[in-house]
Amino acid sequence: MAARVASEAGVRALVLTHFSPRYFPGNETGPEDLLREARSVFPATELAHDFLSIDVERRVE
């Protein structure tokens, strides 16, 4: 759902955070599955991780 919203909104990137417990290691479906699914809709998707830093450029219109 987030990937579809990002695509429709025309954003440049999507960073997914706060993953459902069903994507935790040891479960049948892991974070890479979530990433693959999101990228099939919005390729510029990344998974957040501890201490991730993202620079955001300000658009001047």
What percent of the chain is predicted at pLDDT more than 70?
100
* pTM of the model as a whole: 0.79
Burial string for 14-50 (b: 16+ CB within 10 Å, else e) reads bebeeeeeebeeeeeeebeebbeebeeebeebeeeee
The arithmetic mean of pLDDT across residues 8-26, rounded, is 87
- pLDDT-derived band at 26, boundaries 50, 70, 90: confident
